[in-house]
Each structure stands twice: as structure tokens, then as C-alpha cells.
Amino acid sequence: MAVRLWKRISKGHVRVVVFGAGGSGKSTLGKFLAGDDLDTDYRESHHLESYKLDSTTPCTILVPPGQEGLRPKTWSDLQRHIASGRSTTALHVVSWGLDEIHPLRYVDHAAYRPGMTVEEFVAAYTEAQRNEELQVIAALAKHLGNAPNHLSLVTVVTKQDLWWPSRTNVRSHYTSGEYAKHVADLRSHVGDQKFTHQIWSASLVRKNLRDGEHTTLVPVAAGYDDAIRNWHVGRLVELIQAEVDHAGE
């Protein structure tokens, strides 16, 4: 399905820039859209990934590493892609804070406090990671506000299979909560007529969230089946397809 998506593109060189915290699923999304095999084991990326897509028009997805210490080397260049008008489509990958923690043990993470249960750690960890998501979107508002062309932002909420029972809270957070406020700031910087934002969620790889010792932190939600996953994945592909088609006009 993903390969057919890109074959339909017939105009323009489309550059899709992907931002997001480390472990949120950026590389997985890039591989998925390129039709590559998906890894079930997390591999931390330390360099800019470029996915050449098989289409009648050259089309590239640029995925920088999300670790905070690695961002200055690559994010500034990609932000300039948008600020200069070379890219008009950006994907912000978030996960309700359920970012990969591997290879760390959860007890070695900065969010852990002595005596915490796994559940208490997960609550503290995901809150900290959601705050990092806010920092990313705030930085985008700061650096992309002068984009000369129309800017299309798609927020992709991954790990749907893990947070599915909390989907009402997740939807509220990203559509009307703190995250939405930062998107509104970005809109005000770019200009309402030059900015569009869409949001969609999916599970690209269905698996438990585990730490470096394979301790299960968050299991795949009971009742989250293939029908739910396939419908959301299909709609995500359609959404991104429409954005890329428009960018290539």
C-alpha cells in the first residue's frame, strides 16, 4: 500500500521532513512509507536517515535522530529546508510519551525514583516524554515561523496499540490540550492562510514496550486487534498521500 502511494506522485520533488523525540517511531514511519521491512527490535539512530521513494517523481523522506544531544547537528539544516521553502511538508511523530527506553533498564532512567513500581515509573516517564514532545513543537514554532511557502504539518501519534484504552485522554491532549496550544502558536507565526495541521494515530508495529532487560513496561492493550490497526494505518497512508500529492503540484 505504501509503495503504491508514492507511485501515484507525478509532479515536483517532494521532501518530507520528520521531527520527533528519540524512540517515538520516526525511523519506523520512514521505513513503512518507503515499503521497507520493519524492525521489531529498537535500534537507536545516530545519523540523518534518507529514504528514497520509488515514484515517478523524486521523493525523499528525511529523518534526523531524535536524541536531544544529536539534534543540533541535523535539525537546524532540516529547519532551513522548510524556512527556505525547499520543503513544505513536516511530520511530527509523537507517542503519548511511550518512547522506546531500550537499551536502558527502567531503574537506570532519570525518571526513576527508588522504590517506584513499574506502573509508577511509567507514569513519571511518559509525563516527562510528553513534555519533551511539547519542547519539540515549541522549537518548530520558533524556527519555522518564517517559512515563505505554505507549511503543512501532520502530527502522527504512534504506539496506538499501547495507549488505546486511554484514547479519549490522548485525543484531548493533542487536539485541545497543551500540545494544541503550541500548534496554535506555530499557526500564528506562519499565518493562518499559509498553515494547515492534521493529526492521526496508528500502530506501525504492534509490540509491548520493554526496557533493556526485557521488562514489560506497557503491554499491548487487550482488545486492540488487526481490524483496528489496519483501518488506522490505511487512513494514515491516505492522509500522507494527499499531503504529498498536494506538495508535488
Q: What is the pLDDT of residue 7?
A: 44
What distance in Å separates the CA atoms of residue 233 and residue 49, rounded to the nearest whole number? 22
DSSP 93: E
Look at residue 58 in the predicted model and tell me its pLDDT. 62
pTM of the predicted structure, to 2 decimals: 0.87
Query: Distance (Å, rounded) from C-alpha 219 to C-alpha 237?
Result: 25
Domain boundaries along the sequence of the chain: 2-247
**Any alpha helices (H) in 35-159, and if so which ranges?**
71-83, 118-143
Q: Provide the strand spans (E) within the chain.
A: 14-20, 49-52, 59-63, 89-94, 151-157, 195-201, 209-210, 216-218
Is residue 218 within 8 A of residue 161, CB to CB? The reply is no
Q: What angle do CA 181, 150, 137 make, to 5 degrees?
A: 30
Centre a 10 Å sphere on the Cβ of residue 191 and count the other Cβ atoms it contains: 12
DSSP 151-207: EEEEEEE--HHHHGGGHHHHHHHHHHSHHHHHHHHHHHHH-GGGEEEEEEE--SS--
Residue type, 172: S
Task: pLDDT tens for the chain, 249 residues: list them.
Answer: 444 444 443 345 778 888 898 889 988 998 888 877 766 665 666 677 887 665 555 678 888 776 666 566 666 767 777 766 666 788 999 999 999 998 899 999 999 999 999 999 999 999 999 999 999 898 887 777 777 778 889 999 999 999 999 999 999 999 999 999 999 998 988 888 889 999 999 999 999 999 999 999 999 999 999 999 999 999 998 888 788 777 766
Fold entry, domain 2-247:
Rossmann fold (3.40.50)
- For residue 50, list its beta bridge partners: 62
Q: Which three cell numbers stand for residue 18?
A: 520528520
Structure-block grid coordinates of residue 129? 516524554
pLDDT at 74: 64
What are the strands, taking DSSP E only, across 202-244?
209-210, 216-218
19: left (phi over 0), alpha (psi -120 to 50) or beta: beta
